[in-house]
Chains A and B, each alone.
Chain A
Amino acid sequence: MNQGKLLEVDFGIGGITTQARPREMGDDLHSESMIVNLGPAHPATHGTIRIVAEISGEKILDADVDVGYLHRGFEKMCETVDYNQVMPYTDRLNYVSPIINNFGWCLTIEKLLEIEAPKRAQYIRVILSEISRVCDHLTCLGASAMELGAFTVMLYMMEARELLWDLLEEVTGARLTVSFGRVGGVKEDLTEGFGARMAGAFKQVREHLVNCDRLLTRNRIFIERMCDIAILTAEEATSFSLTGPMLRGSGVNYDVRKAFPYSSYDEFDFEVPLGSKGDNYDRFLVRFHEMEQSLRICEQAIARLPEGPIIVDDPHIALVPKDEVYNSIDGMINHFELVMYGVKPPKGSVYNAVEGGNGELGYYVVSDGSGKPYRAHVRAPSFIHMGSMRKMLLGANISDLIPTFGMINMIGGECDR
């Protein structure tokens, strides 16, 4: 089986053909392999992605993963706008946990400026990030469960997600396009009574999680579908540059929140669930238990929420309060400059990573001293995880492709940017 020649470059300028591979010596004479497109429009590939698989019966002999259907030119667009104007673009990267992308970008620019957001802003960031992370895991596990046939679990998780989105909406104003972070802090404070509503929502979310646990975790059919499928050892996982639940499912203890704590994460007490075998079931369990840990972090943060400003005090970075803008010349000039020319970090380059729902979400920003980034690059975990998909698919069944793909949690916006 010549693995490299599955898809011949046919047109001279590059291209993928969907013809069957010519029969060769050593092939089983009674069967021919079939090339199947799990094409960009497919119910199970959430997000547009195309997997060209050469299958023989049910077994996948080779697979080519074709990403890029949702490429929108994020990095090129970032070069044309201000640092704060990039925020809505980052929302649309990992659109199931958009707040984490926002805050990742803010933290990167703050690292470039060598400032730190005030404590209250950091705590608010932590709370909203963790709520968003729970939403991300709920979406991933719910969609995967539905594709495996457990429709009820999906709907329970969607119900839990709705409760959390209500919380996010009351603070940020939107469920998905939050654009809540600002360089130096956050846009607004938490609403009044947020803590009580959060506690109520968490209670219901936990009930739903218990139900889903009862339905899935020890279900014989589910275990057979997920266990021992798509195993990646720890060495393979690090070699494929996996991070997040994929890496922790293989047993490697790397969580950006613990290894390189940012935004006051070192002040909270939470555990990092680790898998042992590196199969789909481990990744499922890692995500499931991470949800509980995220809820714990939120509760600790809201209990110890410090008072203070929610954005840094520097008028060259953050918008000054409106009464100063209208009543003092400095205020007006600062406001004008900030809106017209944007935040101007010094020249240099910086890489900063946060723990996204899928793994290490990193931003590499090169600044040339002006208000617009010279180069902004997103290290998207989903994109890199798709690189490992081929290895996991070789020799698996077509039916195994679905849970494997579900556990990778490829988000189209993040993968293709």
Chain B
Amino acid sequence: MFELLVLLIKVIVVMNLALVLGSLCTWLERKGSALIQDRVGANRAGAFIESDKWYVKPALPVVRMMGWLGFINTFVCDSVKGLWKEDFVPAGTSKFLHAVAPIIAVLPIMLAFAVLPLAPNFTLFGYNIHPRLAPIDAGLLFVLAMGSVAVYGVAIAGWTGNNKFSLLGALRAAAQMISYELPMGLVFVALIVVYGTLDVYTIVEEQGKMLWGVVPQWGIVMQPVGFVVLLLAGMAETKRGPFDLPEAESELAAGYFTEYSGMKFLLFWLGEFCEIALFGLLLALLFFGGWQIPWVRLPEGVWWAALVGHLVLMTKVVFFCVLQIVIRWTLPRFRYDQLMNLGWKMLLPVSLANLAITAIMKVLL
């Protein structure tokens, strides 16, 4: 009974976390890009709100500050706008496919959040709580599989747009995503070789151990090349940053989601930002020790240690989200053949070599 309650709470927490992280990324994008581009960004909605009612007045300064920071614009206004906009399906395409494509593109991302642990295990009221929604042993494999399924959503979305530009964008996106899954998979394999398990929780635990007693066995120390490859492959999977050719606004007028509006478009949009958060989370968990602070050993199983760990993890995730956003707003985008060259001719051999060297060193050491 208690387990069921815990499960329910976990579901709510994980779902909220995924969505909140995604929304936070949109806010970071708006304000962060504004900072980089020497402008202010959204700061109007709610910044001038007034009220006469006595029970509303105390909350007003907080609301105004949030409005000035752009929270109300991003979280409230954009969502309401997306929900209320007319949902337009282009003539001559299947309504079902048009509706189902964003779901296929977004659902796997949310599911991938389910297998990733968010805090160390702790005991509360005598019960052991594992802060991980689905205790699958092959966690990493599941994440990889979900990334592959998301390709379907993109391809179907481009097809149902019923115009050549959408199709071009979808083909580019699908090819790009599939090509960059290979280096990603190979990096995961190398991590498995180093840490000996597919279970992400165990990997994080293993990172707590010291390497030669000096430095913690974080992924970045054991697999620096793997980190770079995963960063690039992750940005290519999310179609972000210099790899955003499929949605290159200026060439294809928004590419594969040209014909989407309203909530379906919001789903794509939010899914993309949740995917940024997902890769941030993966990078933090696999390469940066997850919830661990280096050289600090918190007592195990205590609930406040879990909370601290969770906050540390979230800080790292936000850092990686910011990193991806800054990269996006700094670099121009790749041309399509350059992108494919990078994936097949550079990242794949590098990750293969990384795997080979890792395996050799694991045998030797």
Contact = CB atoms under 8 A, between A and B. Distances in A.
A and B touch in the complex (CB under 8 A): yes
A50 interface: no
A151 B329 contact: yes
Nearest to A211: B38
A43 interface: yes
A43 B37 contact: no
Interface string A61-87: 000000000000000000000000000
B334 interface: yes
A400 B331 contact: no
A368 B349 CA distance: 75
Interface in A84-108: none
Interface in B300-347: 329-338
Contacts of B249: 43
Interface centre among A36, A42, A152, A156 (most CB of B within 10 A): A152
B36 interface: yes
A395 to B, nearest CB: 13
B275 interface: no
A339 B37 CA distance: 49
B272 interface: no
Given A36-B164, A155-B39, A149 B248 contact: yes
Contact of B337 (A58, A155, A222): A58
Contacts of A146: 250
A152 B330 contact: yes
B253 interface: yes
Contacts of B164: 34, 36
Interface residues of B, number: 26
A44 B331 contact: no
Contacts of B250: 43-44, 146-147, 402
Nearest to A399: B335
A151 B39 CA distance: 12
Contacts of A148: 332-333
A151 B33 contact: yes
Interface in B184-226: none
Contacts of A397: 335-337
Interface string A145-163: 1111111100110010000
B251 A58 contact: no
B237 interface: no
Given A151-B33, A152-B36, A399-B245, A221 B334 contact: yes
B264 to A, nearest CB: 21
Contacts of A221: 242, 331-334, 338
A16 to B, nearest CB: 17
Nearest to A406: B250
Nearest to B33: A151
Given A216-B332, A219-B332, A149 B37 contact: no
Contact of B332 (A42, A155, A225): A225
Nearest to A58: B336
Given A149-B242, A155-B37, A43 B253 contact: yes
Contacts of B332: 145, 148-150, 216, 219, 221-222, 225
B259 interface: no
A355 to B, nearest CB: 29
Given A44-B250, A151-B33, A215 B330 contact: yes
Contacts of A224: 334-335, 338
Interface in A7-40: 34, 36
A399 B336 contact: yes
Contacts of A325: none
B194 to A, nearest CB: 30
Nearest to A153: B332
A43 B332 CA distance: 17
B244 interface: yes
Given A36-B164, A43-B250, A155-B37, A149 B331 contact: yes
Contacts of B329: 151-152
Given A36-B164, A225-B335, A402-B251, A156 B37 contact: yes
A42 B337 contact: no
A399 B38 contact: no
A398 interface: yes
B359 to A, nearest CB: 31
Contacts of A34: 164
B31 to A, nearest CB: 14
Interface in A159-193: 159
B23 to A, nearest CB: 22
A155 B40 CA distance: 12
Contacts of A145: 332
16 contacts: A58-B337, A145-B332, A149-B331, A150-B332, A151-B329, A152-B37, A152-B329, A159-B38, A216-B332, A221-B338, A224-B335, A225-B332, A398-B168, A399-B336, A400-B335, A402-B250
Given A58-B337, A152-B329, A399-B335, 18 more contacts: A43-B253, A44-B250, A44-B251, A145-B332, A146-B250, A148-B332, A149-B242, A149-B331, A150-B331, A216-B332, A219-B331, A219-B332, A221-B242, A221-B334, A225-B338, A397-B336, A397-B337, A399-B336
**For the complex of A and B, 5 pairs with smallest distance between CB atoms:** A149-B333, A147-B250, A155-B37, A150-B332, A44-B250
